[in-house]
Structures are given as structure tokens and as C-alpha cells.
């Protein structure tokens, strides 16, 4: 969430600056470059707390220590398989293969 918030702040800085530079007739490429550099500089100077939070969330996500994202259906399936295996230890659940179509 922190990464999304920081990205939206940067976009909110970039968009009006880009519009201003296009209005000043700098050309599309120069407007993109100037707006990008100014948005970067403003966010670097004034939004350090949000930048640090975004970096920490990315580090957590890619460090391998993050919780896997699972849907409610996947959680229910895993719980049902766990209950089945606990109740009947002789049953084996193969989760690495899909059922074959008949």
C-alpha cells in the first residue's frame, strides 16, 4: 500500500507539471523530461517518509519473508485438504498436478 501511495504522489506531481510544460509549448519530449525531473526532485526533497515506507514494503515483498497472497478459495481448499489428510493418513493429496479431462 505504501508503494501505491508514493507512486500516486509522484503521479500527482508529474501530471500538472507536464500539463504546464505542454501549455508553455516546450514540446512533448522536453515536457516529459522536465516534469519527470521536477516531480523526482520534489518527491525526493519533501516526501522522504513515504519514500522510505515504499522502499521498505518493496524490500519486504521481495525478500522472501512476505506472506504468500492466497485467495479465499485457495485457503478453503488448503483447509479441506488438511482436514482430509488429518482424518485419513493413508490418503495422499497430489497438488502438483491437475485432474485429467475425461
Question: DSSP string covering 63-75, please?
Answer: SS-SPPP--HHHH
Say if residues 54 and 3 touch (Cβ distance below 8 Å).
yes
**pLDDT digit string, tens, across residues 6-61:** 999 999 999 999 999 999 999 999 999 999 999 999 999 999 999 999 999 888 88
**Whether residue 102 has pLDDT greater than 60:** no
Of 9 and 64, more confident: 9
pLDDT of residue 55: 92
Report residue 33 as a C-alpha cell.
Answer: 523530461
Of 63 and 6, more confident: 6
User: CA–CA separation, 41 vs 12, rounded Å?
Assistant: 14
Largest CA distance in the chain: 75
Please list, in sequence order, all residues whose beta carbon lies within 8 angstroms of the beta carbon of residue 54, skipping any fewer than 6 positions away. 2, 3, 5, 6, 7
Of 83 and 14, more confident: 14
| Phi and psi angles of residue 95, each rounded to the nearest 5 degrees, phi first | -95, -5
Please list, in sequence order, all residues whose beta carbon lies within 8 angstroms of the beta carbon of residue 10, skipping any fewer than 6 positions away. 39, 40, 43
Amino acid at each position: 500500500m505504501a508503494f501505491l501511495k508514493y507512486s500516486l504522489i509522484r503521479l500527482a506531481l508529474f501530471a500538472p507539471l507536464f500539463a504546464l510544460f505542454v501549455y508553455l509549448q516546450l514540446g512533448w519530449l522536453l515536457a516529459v523530461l522536465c516534469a519527470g525531473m521536477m516531480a523526482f526532485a520534489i518527491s525526493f526533497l519533501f516526501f522522504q517518509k513515504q519514500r522510505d515506507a515504499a522502499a521498505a514494503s518493496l524490500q519486504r515483498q521481495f525478500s522472501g519473508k512476505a506472506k504468500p497472497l492466497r485467495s479465499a478459495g485457495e485457503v478453503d481448499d488448503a483447509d479441506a485438504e488438511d482436514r482430509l489428510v488429518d482424518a485419513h493418513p493413508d490418503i495422499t493429496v497430489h497438488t502438483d498436478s491437475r485432474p485429467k479431462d475425461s
